[in-house]
Amino acid sequence: MKIWQPFTQEKTTATPLKIVRGEGVYLFDERGKRYLDMISSWWTNILGHGNGEVAEAIYRQARILEHVIFAGFTHSPAEKLCHELAKFLPKNLECFFFSDDGSTAVEIAIKMAYQYFVNLNKQKRNIYINLAGGYHGDTLGAMSAAGNHSRYHATFSEFFFETFSIDFPHSSQDEAVAIEKLKIFLKQNNERVCALIVEPLVQGASGMKMYRHEFLDQIVCEARKYEIIVIFDEVMTGFFRLGTMFAIDQCVEKPDIICLSKGLTGGFLPLALTVANCKIYNAFLSDDWRRAFLHGHSYTANPIACAAAIQTIEILQREEIQQNIGKIIRGHEINLQKLDHIFHKRQCGTIAAFEVESTEKARIIAKKALQNSIILRPIGRTIYFMPPYCTTVENLKYVYKKIRQYI
Ligand SMILES: Cc1ncc(COP(=O)(O)O)c(C=O)c1O
């Protein structure tokens, strides 16, 4: 029997560490050794592990209604969750489509944008614009939308649909050049462009690459000139990861569609939402069934997952969590300053990142960190921290102290 791990070269990888329990910022292995989870377990466990209140909410919901088909039926947890989320979203984002994970949230956004133009009987639009290096998930559409720059998906590139990649800006000069190139592309091809898709402000999986909201605002404005659908993939950036509920809150220009997942249920259960504006929703209303959005998954809007999400959102708003998010942000600022002999220190909200000389060095640091009970997962030569919001100032101090020693 083999259990085949995700994103893992099975031939060369070490035996996976068996985790038996989680509590707060810690995970515990079979021998009782505890580890600081500095990556919130692939960015999902924003409240930390084993949150009792979310567990209780799950239990309560499981006793009432565990699941029901979501076409032709609805339930209170789904309705309440959308109602709660709507309070944080721009007014125009009010049409909620459920699915199960970040990739499917993106897949749905891509399909919605395409069918929007089909339903309007407009000229066929099938080119997607992305920001070079972005990552939107591993399903075919999500891989395609990210374009040919991805370090992960080259094997499948022959299946990809057509995209145009905006150069990632490393400086204000780069920004001007990238926007100029975008303008030229749009002038010639705008009638074929369906959507612009970006990870707003921070590109996660490509190595915590951060960019200015002014740049994002500008590219959105360019897209708007040609009625291109704007999709923000907030699967990683959502739920206070960048200090505000959503990255949207730091931008002037708002999208037509937002994709949410990961932190949505506090890391308890898979759940995702693709939230669109009414302009898109209305384009699917018709007497013709084929104009409906013919997409759905067996576990769409699972009531137990919705209950976990409602509880997570309630907890996130509490004073103590908000204060701790502030402490983590300041903790990164102070500790990053003390880090020498590294490259390109950067921070956005609760994410801090820097580069070391090589991928090999990053791997060695992660290995040493694990020996010292710290879980990191470098991306190439990028080391980053994306801690759960229950992380203390002392936890952060310890992690940075160890990193300084390794470097
Ligand atoms: C920005 C972004 N979009 C989409 C995804 C895909 O999410 P999932 O792994 O839940 O399919 C990820 C995953 O890391 C992500 O960071």
Contact 115, 179 (CB under 8 A): no
Could you tell me the sign of the dihedral formed by the alpha carbons of 69, 75, 77, 81, in that order?
positive
| Chain position carrying tokens 């200090």 | 243
233 lines ligand 1 (CB under 6 A): yes
Both structure tokens of 148? 């040919």
Q: Rounded to whole angstroms, what are the CA distances from 342 to 31, 169, 338, 369, 377?
A: 34, 21, 11, 17, 17
Q: Give residue 37 CA to ligand 1 midpoint distance, Å.
A: 19
Both structure tokens of 213? 């909201």
pLDDT band with cut points at 50, 70 and 90 for residue 149: confident
Q: What is the pLDDT of residue 150?
A: 77
Q: Give residue 345 CA to ligand 1 midpoint distance, Å.
A: 24
Fold of 55-316: Aspartate Aminotransferase; domain 2 (3.40.640)
Q: What is the pLDDT of residue 121?
A: 87
Q: Is the pLDDT of residue 260 over 80?
A: yes
Weakest mean pLDDT among 111-120, 150-159, 238-247, 382-391: 150-159
Average pLDDT, the chain: 97
Q: Rounded to whole angstroms, what are the CA distances from 299 to 115, 141, 259, 302, 303?
A: 23, 20, 17, 5, 9
Average pLDDT over residues 96-115: 98
Q: How many CB atoms lie within 10 A of CB 367?
A: 12
Q: Give residue 124 CA to ligand 1 midpoint distance, Å.
A: 28
Going by C-alpha positions, the residue among 281, 229, 274 that lies closest to residue 255 is 229
Look at strands 229-233 and 257-260 and give their pairing.
Answer: parallel
The DSSP H or E segment spanning 166 is strand 163-166
The DSSP H or E segment spanning 398 is helix 393-406
Taking domain 318-406, whether its CATH number is 3.90.1150.10 is answered by yes
Q: Give residue 137 CA to ligand 1 midpoint distance, Å.
A: 5
Average pLDDT over residues 198-209: 97
Average pLDDT over residues 165-191: 96
261 lines ligand 1 (CB under 6 A): yes
Q: What is the pLDDT of residue 152?
A: 84
Average pLDDT over residues 224-231: 98
Q: What is the pLDDT of residue 359?
A: 97
| Closest atom, ligand 1, to C-alpha of 142 | 4
Q: What is the pLDDT of residue 26?
A: 98
Q: What is the pLDDT of residue 27?
A: 98
Going by C-alpha positions, the residue among 235, 294, 268 that lies closest to residue 61 is 268
325 lines ligand 1 (CB under 6 A): no
| Closest atom, ligand 1, to C-alpha of 43 | 14
238 lines ligand 1 (CB under 6 A): no
Residues 6+ apart with CB under 8 A from 104: 137, 139, 272, 297
Q: Give residue 64 CA to ligand 1 midpoint distance, Å.
A: 31
311 lines ligand 1 (CB under 6 A): no
Average pLDDT over residues 305-322: 98
Q: Please count the CA atoms within 13 angstroms of the CA of 37 that sit on its side-chain side.
A: 25
State percent of the chain over pLDDT 70.
100
Across the beta sheet with 374-375, what order do the strands follow?
A: 19-23, 26-29, 34-37, 374-375
106 lines ligand 1 (CB under 6 A): yes
Look at strands 127-131 and 163-166 and give their pairing.
Answer: parallel
Q: Give residue 231 CA to ligand 1 midpoint distance, Å.
A: 14
Q: What is the pLDDT of residue 374?
A: 98
**What are the tens digits of pLDDT across the range 285-302?**
999 999 999 999 999 999
Burial of 253 from C-beta contacts in 10 A (0-12 / 13-18 / 19+): middle
Q: Give residue 92 CA to ligand 1 midpoint distance, Å.
A: 24
Going by C-alpha positions, the residue among 338, 305, 335, 315 that lies closest to residue 389 is 315
107 lines ligand 1 (CB under 6 A): no
135 lines ligand 1 (CB under 6 A): yes
Q: Is the pLDDT of residue 122 over 90?
A: no
Sorted by where each begins, the domain ranges of the chain are 55-316, 318-406
Both structure tokens of 74? 């609805």
235 lines ligand 1 (CB under 6 A): yes
Q: Is the pLDDT of residue 148 over 90?
A: no
**What are the tens digits of pLDDT across the range 54-93?**
999 999 999 999 999 999 999 999 999 999 999 999 999 9
Q: Is the pLDDT of residue 151 over 90?
A: no
Question: Which amino acid belongs to residue 358?
Answer: S
Q: Give residue 236 CA to ligand 1 midpoint distance, Å.
A: 7
Backbone angles phi, psi at 126, to 5 degrees: -140, 20
